[in-house]
Structure 1
Amino acid sequence: MAYAITDDGIEIYYEAKGQGLPVIFVSGYFGISDIWQAQTNALSEKFRTVSYDSRGYGRSAKPLPAEAYSIPRHADDLKAVIDAAGINGPAVLVSHSIGCNIISTFAVKYPQQVAGLVYTACYVDGKQMRDAGMSVEGVSEAVSTPSGAVAFYKPFGVTESVGAEAAKWATHALQANAAAFLNHEMADQYSAITAPALILQGENDAPNPLPFATALQQVLGGGAELKVLKGVNHFPPLEAPETVTAFVEEHVRKCFAD
């Protein structure tokens, strides 16, 4: 098992596979690397893939202080993982849900390490989420019991066995991470992002509906390519694994073609 050590001393579990062009997978509120298994298994035959459990989840450390969780903090964790995996040049960053704000924040702070961006189940920032009626309590309490977690995630395309994993996560981390993404605002920062971007949005995404994706496309300057995935809800990597894998591979090759 491999761990990166962050600058605040937190252990982040990560998996690195394959050789070649680097592709990093970043999870969202469902912060375990397992959601990317289909993509990393397939793409590690062609590229160097890295996935990891976010702080507060899975095999990574779960610090107690609420202030240990924020989107900028997660972006610095991503930097620690990239460094630990020995990736020195630019990489393509692939994200899901809250991970989209993590890679955007990373791209603003570390532009030289970003060759391209892929957003799945995306949104602009926490203000957009709050305006849509999301709250810390509503998000974190919904997954506090096994049955609640299964019921919460099932409509989003997550199997019962995978959804039940959410109930095993530390309550303090769930609450702190919910506050972290809901309080993060960055709509005015996207103009600093110049890396080519691809947006993969499910047409039936319930928490992050299609207008969230078109809004992200707009703040990115309109240059991002948007692909709407038919019949897909909030978890494209799990619901349409082969489609997501194919689009990611195509985007990686485009990003490194120049």
Structure 2
Amino acid sequence: MTEITITTTDGVTLAVEDTGAGAAIVFVHEFAGDLRSFEPQVRFFSRRYRCITYNARGYPPSAVPPSHESYSQDRARDDIRDVMDGLGVQGAHVVGVSMGGFATLHFGLAYPHRAKSLVIAGVGYGAPPDKRGQFAEECEVAAKRFETLPIAEAAGSYGRGPTRVQYENKDPRGYAEFMAQLAEHDAKGAANTLRGVQKRRPSIFDLAEPMRAMAVPSLVMTGDEDDPCLEASVFMKRHIAASGLVVMPCTGHTLNLEEPAAFNAHLAEFFSAVELGRWPRRDPRSTTGSILGTR
């Protein structure tokens, strides 16, 4: 494993870990995680792949820009590109969870020539039109908590959400480690990320047309108890022609840590199919709108 620092095109330094050799996989973490969140994936895939993880801006030892205007969905997307450029990687499988999954989708839309494949996992928070206002309000409340409360208290509140209890119930030890790492985050970075990225990002449901045009092989993943992400995941499956959908049973939002063996198995099969040229586009005959094929 090599630890390096990369400077983005807007002058922000990002902490990167580079492990293994072979075709590259770039892992993009969620809001409540950091590069350590992909330890079960790096341990598994670095035996045969070059695994690249990094801390997003706002997550030390990456830099913490002081203004939330330095944080955005477009910037999160371009930080993936800048990490790849800094390592001399022209193309990679890109794997994102939650906030990282949004960035991964936008990376595929903007830079399809750089993406061998996309894994878009746990994506959907705040996406439905009737939830946009509620999500923005909750992001602001969470940002203020990180600014005003001790970091452990603010992190504890965020990490005990209704889509995290599944992880706690299945793996109390893993969940305790996840919560301890969340409490080590930078309060200002967390607040800026909530206001700059989470609160302002476009809805999945506003991306139908660009998703229809995207040909990058994609695997959409969600837990069946991750209610904010279910509808958005089905929507992505219906609009990305080269996509498959995995719904993991009795699983919440932290799916790569909650069910690491199943998560890794799905990714391994997906990467293999992509690399063999056997990952399909959806047959248009399956989208005619007919139920029994009578019209």
Give the TM-score normalised by structure 2.
0.79
Output the amino acid matched with 2:238: Q
Aligned to 2:17: 15
Q: Give the secondary structure class of the aligned counterpart of 2:21.
A: coil
Deviations 1:206-225 (A, max 9, x none): 5x34112112222324x421
Matches within 5 A, 1:178-193: 178-179=194-195, 180-185=197-202, 187=207, 188-193=209-214
1:125: how far off? 7.0
Whether 2:256 is the aligned partner of 1:237: answer yes
Deviations 1:112-137 (A, max 9, x none): 11111111111287565943721222
Aligned to 2:230: 210
Contact persistence 2:25–2:52 (CA under 8 A): yes
Output the amino acid matched with 1:102: A
My pick for the range that moved more, 185-194 or 54-63, is 185-194
Whether 2:109 is the aligned partner of 1:103: answer no
Change beyond 3 A, Cα 1:60–1:130: farther
Q: Give the secondary structure class of the aligned counterpart of 1:23.
A: strand
Could you tell me which runs of 5 or more consecutive residues in structure 1 were left unpaired when the two chains were aligned: none
User: Distance between the aligned counterparts of 2:32 and 2:87, measured in 1?
Assistant: 22
Output the amino acid matched with 1:20: G
Q: What is the aligned length?
A: 255
User: Distance between the aligned counterparts of 1:205 and 1:127, measured in 2?
Assistant: 14
Matches within 5 A, 1:54-93: 54-88=56-90, 90-93=91-94
Aligned to 2:292: none
1:171: how far off? 3.0
Q: Give the secondary structure class of the aligned counterpart of 2:135.
A: coil
1:166: how far off? 2.7
Output the amino acid matched with 2:77: A
Match of 1:29 among 20, 28, 31: 31
Match of 1:138 among 141, 160, 163: 141
Q: Give the secondary structure class of the aligned counterpart of 1:103.
A: helix
My pick for the range that moved more, 61-70 or 102-111, is 102-111
User: Distance between the aligned counterparts of 1:93 and 1:166, measured in 2?
Assistant: 23
My pick for the range that moved more, 94-103 or 22-31, is 22-31
User: Distance between the aligned counterparts of 2:130 and 2:4, measured in 1?
Assistant: 34
Output the amino acid matched with 2:124: Y
Contact persistence 1:75–1:102 (CA under 8 A): yes
User: Distance between the aligned counterparts of 1:138 and 1:74, measured in 2?
Assistant: 22
My pick for the range that moved more, 248-257 or 136-145, is 136-145
Contact persistence 2:92–2:117 (CA under 8 A): yes
Contact persistence 1:33–1:53 (CA under 8 A): yes
Match of 2:186 among 170, 184, 193: 170
Q: Give the secondary structure class of the aligned counterpart of 2:263.
A: helix
User: Distance between the aligned counterparts of 1:47 and 1:66, measured in 2?
Assistant: 35
Structure whose alpha-carbon radius of gyration is higher:
2
Contact persistence 2:127–2:232 (CA under 8 A): no
Give the TM-score normalised by structure 1.
0.89
Aligned to 1:53: 55
User: Distance between the aligned counterparts of 2:23 and 2:94, measured in 1?
Assistant: 11
**Percentage identity across paired residues of the two chains:** 22
Aligned to 2:284: none
User: Distance between the aligned counterparts of 2:126 and 2:117, measured in 1?
Assistant: 19
Contact persistence 1:21–1:48 (CA under 8 A): yes
Deviations 1:70-125 (A, max 9, x none): 0111111111111222212x211111001122112211221111111111111287
Contact persistence 1:23–1:47 (CA under 8 A): yes
Q: Give the secondary structure class of the aligned counterpart of 2:181.
A: helix
User: Distance between the aligned counterparts of 2:46 and 2:36, measured in 1?
Assistant: 15
Contact persistence 1:124–1:215 (CA under 8 A): no
Change beyond 3 A, Cα 1:31–1:189: farther
Whether 2:158 is the aligned partner of 1:152: answer yes
My pick for the range that moved more, 238-247 or 157-166, is 157-166
